[in-house]
Amino acid sequence: MLSERIIEDDFHALFETPGCVKPYVYKIVSPGEEKLMRFLGREPKSITEASEFFHVPFEEAKNLADKAYSRANIHKSRENPDRYYAATLYDRLGYFTQYEQEAWLTIPKEERRIIDDWYVEAYSILTINDMETGKADTHNHFGFLPIRYAVEKILAAAEKSDKPFYVVPCNCRTTTNACDLPRETCVHERYGPNSQWDRGHGRQLSLDELRELLYAADKAGLMHSVSSTGHVCNCDSCCCYPTRMALNYNLKGEYRAINYVAIYDRDKCVSCGLCAKRCHLKAFRKDPTGKIRYDPNLCWGCGICETACPKGAIKTALLAEHNHPQGISYE
């Protein structure tokens, strides 16, 4: 059990700690890491400088820096990866919940909910700013893809890559903890400074394992997005930060680009309800009589309804190419 300690305001200013997290920073940053982060600040410094400042052997300073880097409490300078600077709580929190889940769960549930809401809002503000300045790859990165297109896109990207992709736990589900859907589902392609892999995390995947992971995620009921570089998110709607941001800010079609739509054949439907159980956005639902109702205006084109349907009553099609009756609910 970690011993609670007092964290001074100047460190909270450096760590950019919101008020809801201040009582728990002692769980997130060790005493040695706090001293190192204070020394580093925002101006990158070397381990040699840290060793001299603290009057400790180089290896001792390096071991502390390696651990702090693995835990994302410090970052490497992109200009010179041998130099480090202090991270912020926003940078660190996802790693804390991904790799130190037991410690995260020692925070009371209601307090975790408040922290989670802050994290979603902080993510939303940063992302919306990136959208406004043209930095966010909204169309390619966070539009959902039916499984067959997601697999096609990620395998094509993987075959062009000189390194295998790797998988890490979903930081959205490890933070929010609102469902029991699979967590080891986020596929990464970055290996450079400050990447998950460079910090010592992740499991490399063969092409077959990559394909199997995607199909397993689809079977579990997760929605797939693949970036232009091959980064994969397998998402829900209760935990997923991009989806929650899109819902909170009414950004469907902007930051969750809608490229596909479900085409529903009522004549083939037997009202088994599997589509309604799997649909995260409530496009499919059962009415009080047990009949399936479909509202295409609520569809995000993820395709997990199609793979669930035992009768082939649902197909996904490109929205731009299909003459779909927008504005009409199939009631």
Comma-separated ranges of CATH 3.30.70.20 domains in the chain: 260-318
**In this structure, what DSSP letter does residue 314 have?**
E
Q: Which residues of the chain have pLDDT under 70?
A: 1-3, 136-142, 322-331
pLDDT digit string (tens) for 194-244? Answer: 999 999 999 999 999 999 999 999 999 999 998 877 889 999 999 999 999
**Distance between CA atoms of 255 and 234, rounded to whole angstroms?**
16
CATH of domain 9-89: 1.10.10
Distance CA 251, CA 134 (A): 15
- In angstroms, how far is CA 206 from the centroid of its own chain? 22
Contact of 90 with 125, CB cutoff 8 Å? no
Best CA proximity match to 15, nearest among 46, 37, 39 = 37
User: Is this prediction's pTM over 0.85?
Assistant: yes
What is the structure's pLDDT at 255?
Answer: 83
* pLDDT at res. 139: 42
At 275-300, the pLDDT tens digits run 999 999 999 999 999 999 999 999 99
Is residue 97 within 8 A of residue 119, CB to CB? The reply is: no
pLDDT score for 326 = 43
pLDDT at 92: 98
Instruction: Give dist(CA 46, CA 84) in Å, integer.
Output: 6
* Class in CATH terms, 260-318: alpha beta
Q: Report pLDDT for 256.
A: 80
Tokens in use for 128? 């919306």
CATH 1.10.10 domain range(s) in the chain: 9-89
